[in-house]
Amino acid sequence: MPRVLVSDKLAEEGLKILGESPGIEVEHRPGMKPEVLCQTIPDYDALIVRSATKVTPEVIDAAKSLRVIGRAGIGVDNVDLEAATARGVIVMNTPGGNAVTTAEHAIALMMSLARRIPEAHRSLKEGRWEKSRFSGGKELYNQILGVVGLGNIGSIVADRARGLRMRVIAADPLVSEERAERLGVSLVPLDELLARADIVTLHVPATKETRGLIGKEAFAKMKEGVLLVNAARGGIVDEAALLEAIESGKVKGAAMDVFAHEPLPADDPLLQREEVVVTPHVGAATTQAQLNVAIAIAEQIRDYLLDGVVRNAVNLPSISPEELEKIRPFLVLGERLGRFQGQLAREGIEEVEVEYAGQVAELDVQPVTLAVLKGLIEPWVGERVNYVNAPHLAQQRGIRVVESKATISRDFVSLVTIRVRSGDRVRLISGTVYGRTQPRIVRVDDFMLEAIPEGATLLIQNRDQPGVVGRLGSALGDAGINIARMQLALHPKGHQALQLLNVDPLPSDDVLAKLRALPEVMSVDLAELGPSVS
């Protein structure tokens, strides 16, 4: 009989679903200390947690019978995914259970900020009638709302804002114009959103790419007197830069539910500013949301234990050990090529075509296509992306996926080609595997080259003129940037060249700006392709 341990508080409705399922035994023991959990877990097939329980490698190592971990919520940062995957333990979450609740909280924060409701409430409670003081609020009607991140929650916020007759613009490199149009939203680059929006609301995950996304440079691009709302993740807003922007008057007010360090210290300077509305990370904490995620995770765990049905898994490989051995290097290659394309995309991605040629076309390449999608989306979506949910996330963002095969590859034994359609631009990147394990990039658009897809990578297109390579090298050297590898390619028709540089450390925005300012340089792109593949 499968046994389920619930180690955090879970709504009774969820416990009832498990308890009434024939063949399942459930035990609810919230508040266990880590050492007690390690002692208890060996006898259980499934573990359900919320955010309090930390599922560490030690817990997973002790879990001799564990088959599945269920997280009642969207984030799985309290579960060690690498350790779970290594042990073959499936990790599931409930990505849609609290989307509406979080979106509504963002709208509530925006309204509270625009009309200074918390401040006026406190003033009146303290016995003051300061009608004139609070008569200068902002009307939301016809205001431009800039939604940064148009996923589940951002889309709901956009829909609710349109109901308030706001004009909604959004920035999301993974959303197509077609999907944005269906939502009634104008898709724009982030810089344009910052310059146009009267109110900016954030709905992106905390990833390496989004950490500090709203900092000094972003504030400098915003309108004077802008309002800022963050009900997404702590760390997306540089809080020191926010404080400066408030003090200067650039930001008229900010509403924050999440912070870089939680709980927020009582002496934090943001708490001393009357322009700042704060809540203690309660965006998803409604009774209905907690009920939704409890029911969802209980049903998912039940269906997996009794019928083998997997939903919302975040780490499930879908290939046999024998096939995996053959296709493993192409999984690495596909993910790196997708990651490269995802970071080069400047507009919403409309279509990705994955073409297999040569010997690789004889294999079951579906996992490689999933790896491509994972790499393509992961820089912008973060920890939720995996081989299971990548197609859903692509579909959700209106990205069409096309897979094709050709039995013959003219120049290579096996060739994987990724074409990404973004606006009017189609970018092509091809790669192969040398020997049995060494992935290589062999083509970027019309340029042929050979490059190792790893680490911080600069893609520079320039006019083919003497001295360009030296000037670029000097500019990087002056900034303390080392060039580990350099690959050069000429356009078949001449006059243009392409350089692909592996560099260390990661160049700053200032360094990139200096490179782009060189007269012969046509474009400079930066991508982080991951650790060494050797």
Active site residues: 233, 262, 281
Identify whether the C-beta of residue 78 lies closer than 8 Å to the C-beta of residue 53: yes
DSSP 237: B
Residues 345, 422: Cα–Cα separation, whole Å: 7
Sheet holding 482-490, edge to edge: 482-490, 496-504, 456-463, 521-528
**CA gyration radius, the chain:** 25
Tokens linked to 233: 């993740």
Phi, psi of 286 (to 5 degrees): -110, 160
Q: What share of the chain is helix, strand, coil (3-state, %, to 5)?
A: 35, 25, 40
Residues 422, 363: Cα–Cα separation, whole Å: 29
Is the N-terminal amide bond of 265 cis, ω within 30° of 0?
A: no
Q: Which residues have C-beta within 8 Å of that of residue 35, sequence separation ≥ 6?
A: none
Nearest to 91 by CA among 48, 56, 53, 52: 48
Residues 60, 501: Cα–Cα separation, whole Å: 40
User: 423 in the Ramachandran plot: left (φ > 0), alpha (ψ -120 to 50) or beta?
Assistant: left
Residues 466, 184: Cα–Cα separation, whole Å: 50
Tokens linked to 41: 């877990």
